[in-house]
Structure 1
Amino acid sequence: MLEVKLHDIGEGMTEGEILHYFVKPGDQVQSDQPLVEVQTDKMTAELPSPGSGVIKEIIINPGATVTVGTTLLIIENDDKRANQQQVEATQSLPTNSNTRILAAPYTRKIAREHGIGLDDVKGTGPGGRIIDDDVYRFIKQKEKQTTIASQVLPSTESNQRKEAVPVKASSIPFKGRRKLIAKKMAQSLYTIPHVTHFEEIDMTELLTLVKELKQLEKPISVPAFFVKAITIALSDFPVFNAKLDEEKERIHLESEYNIGIATDSKDGLIVPVIHQANQKTIKDIHREMKSMIKKAQENSLTSKEISGGTFTISNVGPLGSIGATPIINYPETGLIAFHATKEKPAVVRGEIVIRSIMNISMSFDHRVADGATAVAFTNRFKEMIEYPNLLLLELV
């Protein structure tokens, strides 16, 4: 018998929520085959089978939250001889059998979500292994074929008006990442006395610089400048790159500047982290942010990539936001949200001109810092954004 237990996937997790099982009692499973999907406070992960056998019993139902070490299901695994016979039987199957397909658990998950059988996908990885790009390529080809077919086939939809059907109230599950986000938000608001400071920043020079870099085929995103400026401001005001330990009555000033990037994904908010951002160039930050955001949208971030943050930023400007009071990413002490940039009249050297103005809002832990310190911090950040050439040359 093999007991499949919830183990520590990483970052010292203590519990996890069972999202769903990929198997049911009586199913034959192979070693490393995905058995169950688990949501931790950091990430979603699949637990593979520790060996071959038959699913005898599922002990914990989907939706339950259990501690590390809890037995989730039992695999009936008779003896070595039986396992050897099973392996030999597997090897005698045709090569297009699902048991012969080489693919990582996350690659299999992508295929499942799009209703694709991996036996239809050609693997380009080592030894014919199917990688993520193979699945995405197959999806695009399938979508293209569907589009062509829809253009050729006549529409069968009736033009007649249908009677209105009363819409009934419904409910959706409150679980997974949504439940974890709620827990983190409540913990932050109940624990930290939030204060939010608002400021306006003239983005005209930075937007001009970004446009010029793009014309020189050296594109750098605006948020990459934000991250670099934040790290410099944090070095001048380290109290915002800190964590409060109430039990020891100490404010721990972090030695690393790890900037979290609040990112929207189909499963909800997630915060990938750029580690030691102060030691990276703006170009490096731009590349890493682009990669992190892509991984976040694909739900392929590792535990390390979403852990260890010391300060978080949230760029909600592209969504049209003009202001908000962001919730701090507990146990950090501050978070800045960047809002939409609007053209507004401004007085420059005694003349009224049109400038690109962006609102920012910074929430901070009032136990750790006072309002004057927060204003000084945002002023330092503002100075670098309004004079970006100095920031680009790293002369600040």
Structure 2
Amino acid sequence: MGTHVIKMPDIGEGIAEVELSQWHVKVGDLVVEDQVLADVMTDKAMVDIPSPVHGKVIALGGQPGEVMAVGSVLISIEVEGAGNLKESAAPAPVTVKEPAAPKAEAVVETKPAAAAPRSAAVCQGPMVAREANERPLASPAVRKHALDLGIQLRLVRGSGPAGRVLHEDLDAYLAQGQSNAQAPVAAAYAQRNDEEQIQVIGMRRKIAQRMQDATQRAAHFSYVEEIDVTAIEELRAHLNEKHGASRGKLTLLPFLVRALVVALRDFPQMNARYDDEAQVITRLGAVHVGVATQSDVGLMVPVVRHAEARSLWDSAAEISRLANAARNGKASRDELSGSSITLTSLGALGGIVSTPVLNLPEVAIVGVNKIVERPMVVKGQVLIRKMMNLSSSFDHRVVDGMDAALFIQAIRGLLEQPATLFVE
């Protein structure tokens, strides 16, 4: 048997050190070639480090949150063959996870990584006993799902890589009747004194840094306007009924993208990036709309490029493609960068008013709140209308309040009279 030492690879772009974000293996695990060993975070991206060999993990070179120099020992693996010590850098990273901009963060991949092998211990059943202070691996969405179901994650055996608990593991746990939901009602009222400390590392640390940077550097101000979307919702329903089967269903988002494109013709100062160090504002002719998308690790901003050249269905298809890629961790770095203005929406959970944080170096972000039916006075009559607020934020260093208000009013006019979206 021999030892294969993998050193922290040179990820490029002049990076001399990276932060070890997460291990996907532990000492004693058997690994195969191309299996993801660890996530490391650079200033610009999170990268998955794969294994170049088959073997058994015998030593880890650092702890999550530790900053490691390029060339330092990352992991040691026992391999078949001669006993001489082999040292190598890990193969080229196969997965790139783009760090979030202030409003939208998440994980992306440039190409699929090989799935981690599941050990017999992992696949023996849905229940496992962990130590009380041992934190099982699981995504935020799985943790929330478990909390909603009343399941203690430490009791659930994970079938994912490195024993990660998946949604289907919760389903298997429930199927065997071992959920806390089956416990006596009194258990729901039992006192709890447990605490959980979560280290802010990796992607979450980068998110925190960018959010703090955005709020400290930009002079945020928000503007909220109410919009009657009855007419455009009727148009959307009509188009879906007529063309939905052949062209795909339209949500409200492609209409909002179109409204941005048209309104920006008169307000080019909103479609801009501000380099506050060089004191230069760059106005773009192309409209690259960032569309905030929810994922298990937070909000991400995939970019609909050249929205000014897209039809409704083209925009809808691109939004859907990018959203699916982002949620599945398949979006590339290019698909998550280069936006010139951002559109953020929580859909039905959008609330009445929000104060979105700018996606620096952009100077404007348009926030969409939920649609509600309310009685409104229209030409002296009380009618039920579909109403929606736009809660938008701007960088007051480069955008005047009057211009911001006029810009949102222009969007309002386009959405309330949807034919004007298509009049050239």
Q: Same fold (TM over 0.5)?
A: yes
Q: Which residue of structure 1 aligns with residue 39 of structure 2?
A: 37
Q: Is the 8 Å Cα contact of residues 43 and 302 (structure 1) preserved in structure 2?
A: no
User: What SS does the aligned partner of 2:299 have?
Assistant: coil
Q: Which residue of structure 2 aligns with residue 269 of structure 1?
A: 299
Determine whether 1:295 maps to 2:325.
Answer: yes
User: What SS does the aligned partner of 1:313 have?
Assistant: strand
User: What SS does the aligned partner of 1:216 have?
Assistant: helix
**Match 1:175 to one of 171, 192, 201:** 201
State the TM-score, normalizing by the size of structure 1. 0.74
Of residues 264-273 and 62-71 in structure 1, the stretch that sits farther from structure 2 once superposed is: 62-71
Cα deviation for residue 49 of structure 1 reads 2.3
Cα deviation for residue 300 of structure 1 reads 2.8
User: Quick check: which one's helix share is greater?
Assistant: 1
Determine whether 1:166 maps to 2:195.
Answer: no
Distance 2:16 2:334 in 1: 16
Q: Is the 8 Å Cα contact of residues 340 and 362 (structure 2) preserved in structure 1?
A: yes
Cα deviation for residue 30 of structure 1 reads 4.5
Structure 2 unmatched ranges of 5 or more: 86-110, 125-165
Distance 2:404 2:30 in 1: 59
* Number of residue pairs aligned between Structure 1 and Structure 2: 347
Cα distance per residue 1:133-175 (max 9 Å; x no partner): xxxxxx999999888877xx9x995658459532115134133
Q: Which residue of structure 2 aligns with residue 191 of structure 1?
A: 217
**Match 1:5 to one of 5, 8, 13:** 8
**Match 1:201 to one of 213, 227, 244:** 227
Q: Which residue of structure 1 aligns with residue 61 of structure 2?
A: 59
Q: Is the 8 Å Cα contact of residues 6 and 67 (structure 1) preserved in structure 2?
A: no
Q: Which residue of structure 1 aligns with residue 157 of structure 2?
A: none
Q: Which residue of structure 1 aligns with residue 284 of structure 2?
A: 254
Q: Which residue of structure 2 aligns with residue 18 of structure 1?
A: 20
Cα deviation for residue 304 of structure 1 reads 1.8
Cα distance per residue 1:272-309 (max 9 Å; x no partner): 22122222211011112122222332233222221111
**Match 1:222 to one of 252, 275, 291:** 252
Q: Percent identity?
A: 30
State the TM-score, normalizing by the size of structure 2. 0.69
Distance 2:70 2:268 in 1: 36
Distance 2:190 2:31 in 1: 45
- Alpha carbon RMSD of aligned pairs, Å? 3.8
Distance 2:407 2:29 in 1: 59
Q: Is the 8 Å Cα contact of residues 7 and 75 (structure 2) preserved in structure 1?
A: yes
Q: Is the 8 Å Cα contact of residues 5 and 73 (structure 2) preserved in structure 1?
A: no
Cα deviation for residue 341 of structure 1 reads 1.8
**Match 1:330 to one of 360, 365, 371:** 360
1:5–1:162: structure 2 CA closer, same or farther, 3 Å change rule? Answer: closer
Distance 2:323 2:220 in 1: 27
Distance 2:30 2:170 in 1: 33
Q: Is the 8 Å Cα contact of residues 256 and 276 (structure 1) preserved in structure 2?
A: yes
Distance 1:72 1:238 in 2: 48
1:107–1:284: structure 2 CA closer, same or farther, 3 Å change rule? Answer: farther
- In the alignment, residue 17 of structure 1 is paired with which amino acid? E
Structure 1 unmatched ranges of 5 or more: 84-103, 118-138
Cα deviation for residue 216 of structure 1 reads 1.9
